[in-house]
Amino acid sequence: MLSQQTITIIKSTVPVLEVYGAEITTTFYKSLFNAHPELLNMFNHANQQQGKQQAALANAVYAAALHIDRLEAILPVVRQIAQKHRSLGVQPEHYPIVGQHLLGAIKTVLGDAATDEIIEAWGEAYGVIANAFIGIERDLEVQAAEQSGGWSDFRAFRVERKVRESEVITSFYLMPVNGQPIADFAPGQYVSVKITIPGEPYTHIRQYSLSDAPGKPYYRISVKREEAFEERPAGKISNHLHKHIEEGSVLWLSAPAGDFILESGDTKPVVLISGGVGLTPMVSMLNTLAVTEPGRQVTFIHAAHNEQMHAMREHVEKLVSNHAQLSAYWCYAAPLGDPATYHKKGYLDLPWLKSVVPSKEASFYFCGPTPFMRAVNGMLKEWDVPDTAIHYEFFGPADVL
């Protein structure tokens, strides 16, 4: 438990963190990687270059300070981050290293304003939060290893099939090299894939949603090849997977993780909304619902740039034709072909959403690029859909909707 004095001091820094948070976290990562370059393998370098990782950490530190007197308020976020940490292989010994460089960054950016009293208070608070992460991650690691078919750390999988789904998305069907059973997972969860690129000193780890229903003898990930665009560099790992990983190649996977999952015990209709490669967890959910809940109404909405960028369309349409409770709608920003082959030209909007979704009394799940997710979230809020019915997943560092 933190003392009242520590809580008061931390609270007093909230306005400062609101202004200087991003500068502090940028300084932190630079210092951390200079001292421990081996930790670079746990981070997406493109997210670092674009400032996404720094912004996510700044938001987390700000939230911790804001709620320091009732840390239970941020436990859901702690669990979400802990899921990612467990999947990436974060260890208890990493936390003192992070704490040292985070406190150092606060001191560097704030200078004399970061008094010894403030640094000591933040050191105490960091220790409490770090211990919460360590405890949750230990429990998650035990659960992952001890479940039927589970394992700890990373496990070798062979690419059994490589399937081109669209101009930019390719699926990889992965089976364990040792031939032993694999862990079950909840639709919406992801795995971490560890890649070694010849000639590079450190491995790379990326997280990809599982794009098929559980209960199969394989895992499937569907990866978008990320090209360079404006300030965004090309995706090093996505391009490596597309260009160099073939059937027979071996990839190393962590056990499934993540808390973006279909809620159990919910009987309301389901609306699945995806943009671009955000359809991967949605298809996992759709495949599952089609078989396990035949009486539950499901509306699947996918937005793509055009027909060539639309992955798994034929698969979803076949599911819809075979299951009366399913319906699907396509929205293309810049369609190339016959208007009869899609349902909306341009971007999603609330009037159209209302026209295809039977009722707002449903559970909404969505995933895609952050601007797309902000737009969908705004529509649902405008429609007065309650927060408890809104579920979403960020690919990469958490952002703000």
Q: What residues are annotated to the active site?
A: 95, 137
- The answer to the question of whether 201 is labelled as a binding residue is no
One-letter amino acid for residue 84 of the chain:
K
Please report, in angstroms and rounded to a whole number, the separation of the first and last CA atoms in the chain.
32
List, in order, residues 6 or more apart from 247 with CB less than 8 Å away: 159, 160, 161, 162
- The answer to the question of whether 366 is labelled as a binding residue is no
Q: What is d(CA 223, CA 206) in angstroms, rounded to the nearest whole number?
A: 11
- The answer to the question of whether 310 is labelled as a binding residue is no
- The answer to the question of whether 219 is labelled as a binding residue is no
- The answer to the question of whether 33 is labelled as a binding residue is no
- The answer to the question of whether 305 is labelled as a binding residue is no
Place of tokens 């979400």: 80
- The answer to the question of whether 91 is labelled as a binding residue is no
One-letter amino acid for residue 104 of the chain:
G
- The answer to the question of whether 188 is labelled as a binding residue is no
- The answer to the question of whether 391 is labelled as a binding residue is no
- The answer to the question of whether 150 is labelled as a binding residue is no
- The answer to the question of whether 401 is labelled as a binding residue is no
DSSP secondary structure letters along 13-28: THHHHHHHHHHHHHHH
Contact 225, 357 (CB under 8 A): no
Q: Which of 367, 389, 149 is nearest to 269 (CA)?
A: 389
Q: Which of 11, 28, 115 is nearest to 63 (CA)?
A: 11
- The answer to the question of whether 206 is labelled as a binding residue is yes
Structure tokens at 270: 């389901």
Any idea what DSSP says for residue 184? -
- Beta partners for residue 271, in sequence order: 299, 364
Q: What is d(CA 40, CA 201) in angstroms, rounded to the nearest whole number?
A: 10
- The answer to the question of whether 173 is labelled as a binding residue is no
Contact 157, 256 (CB under 8 A): no
Cα distances (angstroms) measured from residue 7 to each of 10, 11, 66, 69: 5, 6, 10, 6
- The answer to the question of whether 31 is labelled as a binding residue is no
Cα distances (angstroms) measured from residue 20 to each of 55, 115, 228, 294, 378: 11, 16, 30, 51, 28
The percent helix, strand, coil of the chain (3-state, each to 5) is 50, 20, 35
**What's the distance, CA 33 to chain centroid?**
23
- The answer to the question of whether 207 is labelled as a binding residue is yes
Binding site feature residues for FAD = 190, 206-209, 394-397
Binding site feature residues for heme b = 85
Binding site feature residues = 85, 190, 206-209, 276-281, 394-397
Binding site feature residues for NADP(+) = 276-281
